[in-house]
Amino acid sequence: MAKLRADQLPGALKKRLAPVYLVTGDEPLLSQESCDAIRQTAKKQGFIERELYHTDAGFSWDELYNATNAMSLFADKKIIEIRIHNGKPGDAGSKAILEFCANINDDTLLLLVSPKIDSRSQNSKWYKAIDQAGEVITIWPVGPAQLPRWVDTRLKQAGLNADSEAIDILCAKTEGNLLAAVQEVEKLKLVAEGNFIDAQMMANAVMDSARYDTFGMVDKAIFGDSRAAAESLQGLRAEGTEALALLWALTRDIRTLTNIKEGLQAGENFDLAAKRNGVWDKRKPLFKQAIQRHKLPQLYGLLRKTALADRIAKGSAKGDIWNLLLDITLGLAGVNVHSAKTARQEILR
């Protein structure tokens, strides 16, 4: 079965809902949107329950066996979502995935989410089993050459049109950060007079930014300036910035740091690892400094917190999203913050 790009997924979902999906790639926004589209389609077809697992310390692939075989009290169809943090399920995971694909259950949908899968893993039995039984959605990075077309498409989806010069201004403003581009498009929907955006209007819109900038806040945290990062976070909250938008920005860069750190430990050159993970040249010094400050267990811990924050933001877990975002921001800046309440929520997730 042919692999799908993210932009092909909506059409494929209209034709059929597959029993198993693998969403793989290193662009958090497109990965999140693909997962959301799968969940929404599944919900319309009766998949009401959702069980979420992360393959970090303490996870056992027996969870997949148990979740597949256990019937809920009301016998609802359910989604089993597993986040494979390093793209490698291991022997136990491979066996569990192969068994699931060989014994498809109409009442269970398996959604696997992973960073970019390497070529060796694409030749594995578990990957081929998913490709045969379901769908593999490969999230390709949007490079500088593709960004203008991507921005143009997003504008049209928002009911807006822009000339090429205006699109170039937006691309330069966001520097390849897709979430930032989406936020600017949402802003344009509010300020545009009519549906056409020319260069002057685009320049005025993108320069009329809030005092506190989402990605500036994340950069302060990566730099290690905990006080400034915390101040920016509180400022963004006061200005009405959505918590989920901040979470996406934090998750993106924490995942990028994790991928680079794993690459370095595997013997990869920093510049190559940074390029592979879409880090722009002017941000490389920030990431190099943060890489030296963080160890992998710390980064894995931050990713677990972002997963918890995602569940809280979407109403599937209880907690104070802003306190947790502050924990994540300070943790990224190098401050060890881990409240007992947060720990309990992670243990009981």
DSSP string, 201-228: HHHHHHHS--SS-HHHHHHHHHHT-HHH
* Residue 200 neighbours by CB under 8 Å, 6+ apart: none
DSSP assignment of 72-114 equals PTT--EEEEEEE-TTS--HHHHHHHHHHHHHS--TTEEEEEEE
| Cα distances (Å, whole numbers) of residue 226 to 1, 57, 275, 327, 332 | 48, 27, 26, 11, 8
CATH C-level class of 214-347: mainly alpha
Gap between the Cα atoms of 339 and 173, Å rounded: 37
Parts of the chain with a pLDDT under 70: 1-2, 57, 70-75, 207-212, 337-349
Tokens of 151: 């921005």
Tokens of 56: 């970090």
Partners of residue 108 on adjacent β-strands: 78
- What pLDDT does residue 212 have? 53
CATH of the structural domain 147-207, one choice from 3.30.43.10, 1.10.8.60, 3.40.50.920, 1.10.150.170 = 1.10.8.60
Residue 64: name the closest of 34, 109, 25 by CA.
109
Confirm if 219 and 286 have CB atoms less than 8 A apart.
yes
* Contacts of the segment 341-347: beta carbons below 8 A, 24+ positions apart: 342/305, 342/308, 345/308, 345/317, 345/318, 345/319, 346/304, 346/305, 346/308
Q: CB neighbours (10 Å) of residue 347?
A: 8
Tokens of 231: 């101040």
DSSP assignment of 253-305 equals HHHHHHHHHHHHHTT--HHHHHHHTT--GGGHHHHHHHHHH--HHHHHHHHHH
Helix-then-strand count for the chain, H and E: 18, 8
Gap between the Cα atoms of 29 and 285, Å rounded: 24
- Residue-wise pLDDT tens digits, 204-231: 777 544 445 777 889 899 999 999 899 8
Residue 305: name the closest of 277, 283, 336, 264 by CA.
336
Architecture of domain 4-139: 3-Layer(aba) Sandwich (3.40)
Q: What is the CA radius of gyration of the chain?
A: 21
Residue ranges of the domains in the chain? 4-139, 147-207, 214-347
Residue for token pair 């309440």 = 341
Instruction: Quote the longest CA-to-CA distance of the chain.
Output: 59
